Structure 1
Amino acid sequence: MGKSEMEKEKLNQTLTQHMSNIHETLQIMDLTPSSSLQKVSWEEVLKIGDQLSKNATSAGMLFSEEKITAKELEENMKAYFNLLQGFVLLGYGSTVGAGPTLSSNIHASLKQVIDSSFSFWRESVASYGHHAKENKRTIPQLAGIVWDACSALKKTPRTNIIAIGRGITHVAVSMKDVLRELKELEPCSSDPTNEISSPAAESTTSDVDVDADEYDDLGKDLSPKEMKVAQLAITIVSEAVIAVKELIRSITGLVKKENLTEEQGVESLEKLLKLCRSIGVQVDELGACLYPPQELSAIAKSCQEISNLTDEVEKELLCLTSSAEAFVKGCKSLKKILEVMKLEVCSSLLDDGEVAQNSGESHVVEQMQNLVVQD
């Protein structure tokens, strides 16, 4: 074995040991830190992150210029992994007092830096002794990925309220995506010229090349009755988005108006996020049921779930703050249109009683016959 091969083997062993140490240290992230520990400022984590990105950039430049020796590479690696070790420990210290959502955000940000660092150093060691142009390009690119991961640390939420607020915002964005899709639903055409009326016409049509994109609209054309249900669903999702936005405003106002500290109300805020995510799931379910043939019983079930979850959100929020008039008003509007939808579904099921009985929907009809739209 030549000198170069021996140096590379030693570098591989050193890298493996460094990576193993980081993996062991990272396991502490699975443990909840004691509240008696002093909380580490996220600014301290950012400082280490800046140093990591600078070190990776410097090492990448040395590789691109083919000026690094085995000793220099090993020294750079040792200094880098010592910093990375401290980075993980400081990151863990920053989770003191953090709820599950904030802890998850912090963990994900740290893992991104660690994974990109591992990729950079694996390629650096693997490329030692080689001077191909491809290696000269790859290593600086990987150093850039480390820089991006360290830069992204600045976007990591620093408080429970911000982390949970972002989580609820993601739910609102998802609902808006559903709303956009529902608005693309169209009533079926009543133009008889669009219908194939004879075998000859069918044969002629089959000989024509059909663009695959034309199939994108299949299943979107609704009957007048189905379209009415779809329009009500669009209103429901729209009102749900408004209610969630008001919830976000209420949560944001907790810090400014009522001086809610970082440790206060975390359990309630986490519950609010969980409830909002459940509402998001039901909105997805509702949207999926609107494509023909519409699943009326499933639509009724989703509407009831959304109503129940909204009640729970309202109750939980009022435990945190009394300044939630806009959200309460939004909930009232949402629940009112949900009741209208239930009555519409009930009417549709009653118009097709045989289907209701055969599909097991008769129980749904019985329950919904007693519904009264509340003012």
Structure 2
Amino acid sequence: MSARGARKARLSRALDSHVRNIEETFQILDKPAASSLDKVEWSQVIKLGDEVSKQATIVGMLWSREDPEIKQLKESMEAYFNVLQGFVLLCHGSTVGAGAILHATIRASARQVIDSSLTLLKQAVAFTSNKSTKSSSISQLSGSVWEASANLKKTPTSNSTAIGRTITHIAVSVKDILREMNELKPAATNVSTDTSPGDDEDEEDEFGSDLSPEEMFVTQLTAKAVSDALAVLKEVIRFVSVLHKRSNEENMGLVNDLERLLSCCEEIGNQANELGASVYPPQEISVLKSTAKKMYVVMDEIQKVVEAVGGSDERFLASIEGLRSSLRKMESGSCGDVISEMGRLSL
């Protein structure tokens, strides 16, 4: 074995040992910390995240040299992993009082820092057997650690913020579904007299080109229901935001209520997706009807939770009733008497 190969083998063994230790330590984040422990402020996690970034820079500079001493390399590796161990323990301490969503968010942020660090160190060791050390690659990997550490500042620090952000993501998805539904057009609007048989039509146009007037009517009613579902999600986000400003985060009963709301909002997102898919021809009327029934149940649950916490107001109730009304119209319009319903609404 060459001298460089021997160096790489020794460093690889040291790295493998450190990796096993950090992975074992990381398992502590599989569950939130006990409520009896003192909670670590997230600012302390961010501070140690900055130290992780500094260690990544040191590794990048040292391991990019032509022939650094193996003792220096092993010492820099050990110092890096010592900081990572402390970082994981602080992240765990910050999960005191965390519900499932906040805990999962903290764990994911910590995992990003660990994974980017391990990738940097593994690649650094791999390059030790190469005469032309790829300093640019090491520098890029160090930058990934910096980015992961900087993202810690964006991590939610409260249950309500984590849940509110998750519901916001659901609302964005529902908004995309609504946009796609509103782009559907009846067949007549897509007919062009100046197209030749050899012309290729845009793939998106073909999706809506077969909608009959009756199908278009059902689509419009369904789109209104999805629009009102989006309005309900926005009201829930507003409710969570207000609750965050005036409630005690240590109240685990409140955290459970918030997570029940999130579960309801996830169901709204799923059902909105079902509605969006069901209006493409051939329209699945049975799915529209079964989805409406599921959404009625979700509305009842949301209203029950919000009223129990004391956050119900006219705006919120109006959004709930608006969705119920649009669902009833969608059910009516998707029944067999579509033509008479269209005529009645056009008067």
TM-score (norm 1): 0.85
> Mapping of 1:240-319 within 5 angstroms?
240-256=229-245, 258-264=246-252, 265-319=254-308
Does 2:175 align with 1:176? yes
What residue number does 1:214 align with?
202
Bigger-Rg structure (1/2): 1
Return the offset for 1:305.
1.3
Amino acid at match of 2:236: L
Return the offset for 1:333.
0.9
> Mapping of 1:1-375 within 5 angstroms?
1-66=1-66, 68-132=68-132, 135-189=134-188, 205=197, 208=198, 210-211=199-200, 214-221=202-209, 222-256=211-245, 258-264=246-252, 265-348=254-337
Amino acid at match of 1:268: D
Structure 1, gaps ≥5 residues long? 197-203, 352-375
Distance 2:18 2:191 in 1: 73
Q: Secondary structure at the match of 2:128?
A: coil
1:215 and 1:254, CA in 2 relative to 1: closer, same or farther beyond 3 A? closer
Is the CA contact (8 Å cut-off) linking 1:303 and 1:342 kept in structure 2?
yes
Is the CA contact (8 Å cut-off) linking 2:63 and 2:73 kept in structure 1?
no
1:74 and 1:219, CA in 2 relative to 1: closer, same or farther beyond 3 A? same
1:348 and 1:10, CA in 2 relative to 1: closer, same or farther beyond 3 A? farther
What residue number does 1:361 align with?
none
Return the offset for 1:35.
1.1
Q: Secondary structure at the match of 2:321?
A: helix
1:76 and 1:147, CA in 2 relative to 1: closer, same or farther beyond 3 A? same
Q: Which moved more, 1:82-91 or 1:317-326?
A: 317-326
Greater RCO, CA 8 A, separation 6+: 2
Q: Secondary structure at the match of 1:74?
A: helix
1:7 and 1:346, CA in 2 relative to 1: closer, same or farther beyond 3 A? same
Return the offset for 1:2.
4.1
Is the CA contact (8 Å cut-off) linking 2:62 and 2:73 kept in structure 1?
no
Is the CA contact (8 Å cut-off) linking 1:268 and 1:316 kept in structure 2?
yes
Is the CA contact (8 Å cut-off) linking 2:44 and 2:90 kept in structure 1?
yes
